[in-house]
């Protein structure tokens, strides 16, 4: 972790697809990282631990080249081993407080809060850097995920932490989430499955410019 890291708290949060081929994963991320995501999350639910270590390690130089922090999904121990910029934990991925202690005060520590405000309140108290809510729309990545209500983005503002929206987000529906209070939109499929991934990433990034941050609910 870089103690001097100052990550933007608003913008596109790029999440990697389940790509078994490391070289192809790097090529796919390289195609879109120049479009200005403020965070990259390495996520691969199907890979072995050894492949995850390999892929995350290979992604780090690319993210460093573009000055984009790299967050490791599910595994704060791997993030610590690789000295990545942080980790993102779901409800079954270990204690946030333990991860915060291990990763240090400067690491980015994200928490999945699903559709539950009490989870967000506990995550904030345990040292989370941001709160992730979703799924807001039908998602091919998690087809069985429960839907989150837009009110969560407003009601969690008191935490003072950035709020991440996830789940079925596209350039066409992201604006409503940003207007409702999302500071970041986390996206996999509508970028990496798009005919032109770079253009899709650019459209999602540019969606933030149409809604001044000063006008958003807090």
Provide φ and ψ at 208, rounded to 5°. Answer: -75, -25
- Tell me the domain boundaries of the chain: 11-215
State residue 182's pLDDT score: 96
What lies within 8 Å, CB to CB, of 40 at 6+ separation is 14, 15, 16, 29, 33, 59, 63, 68, 69, 70, 71
CATH 3.40.50.300 fits 11-215, yes or no: no
Please state, for a pLDDT cut of 90, what percent of the chain lies above it.
84
State residue 159's pLDDT score: 94
Dihedral angle over CA of 24, 74, 32, 216, nearest 10:
170
CA–CA separation, 90 and 67 (whole Å): 26
Tokens found for residue 196: 């032109």
Tokens found for residue 207: 């969606």
Buried b / exposed e over 3-37, threshold 16 CB at 10 Å, is eeeebeeebbbbbbbebeebeebbebbeebbebbb
Catalytic (active-site) positions:
43, 112, 142
Count CB atoms within 10 A of the CB of residue 141: 17
pLDDT in tens, 24-48: 999 999 999 999 999 999 999 999 9
Low-confidence ranges of the chain (pLDDT < 70): 1-5, 210-218
Of 120, 131, 73, 128, the residue nearest 97 (C-alpha): 128
DSSP string for residues in the chain: --TT----SSEEEEE----S-HHHHHHHHHHHHTT--SEEEE--SSS-HHHHHHHHHHHHHHHHHHT--EEEES-HHHHHHHT-SEEEE-TTS--HHHHHHHH-TTSEEEEEEET-HHHHHHHHHHT-SEEEE--SS--SSSTTPPPPPTHHHHHTGGG-S-EEEESS--TTTHHHHHHHT-SEEEESHHHHTSSSHHHHHHHHHHGGGGS-GGGS--
């Amino acid at each position: 972790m870089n103690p001097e890291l100052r990550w933007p708290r608003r913008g596109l949060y790029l999440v990697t697809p389940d790509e078994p081929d490391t070289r192809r994963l790097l090529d796919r991320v390289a195609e879109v990282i120049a479009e200005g995501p403020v965070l990259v999350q390495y996520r691969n639910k199907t890979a072995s631990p050894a492949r995850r270590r390999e892929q995350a390690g290979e992604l780090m130089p690319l993210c460093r080249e573009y000055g984009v922090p790299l967050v490791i999904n599910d595994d704060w121990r791997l993030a610590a081993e690789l000295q990545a910029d942080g980790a993102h934990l779901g409800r079954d991925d270990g204690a946030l407080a333990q991860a915060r202690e291990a990763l240090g005060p400067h690491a980015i520590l994200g928490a999945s809060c699903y559709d539950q405000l009490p989870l967000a309140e506990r995550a904030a108290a345990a040292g989370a850097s941001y709160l992730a809510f979703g799924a807001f729309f039908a998602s091919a990545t998690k087809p069985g995920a429960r839907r989150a209500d837009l009110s969560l983005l407003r009601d969690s503002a008191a935490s003072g932490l950035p709020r991440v929206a996830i789940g079925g987000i596209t350039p066409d529906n992201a604006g409503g989430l940003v207007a409702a209070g999302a500071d970041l939109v986390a996206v996999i499929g509508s970028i990496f499955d798009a005919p032109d991934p770079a253009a899709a990433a650019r459209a999602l990034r540019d969606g933030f410019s149409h809604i001044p941050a000063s006008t958003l609910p807090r």
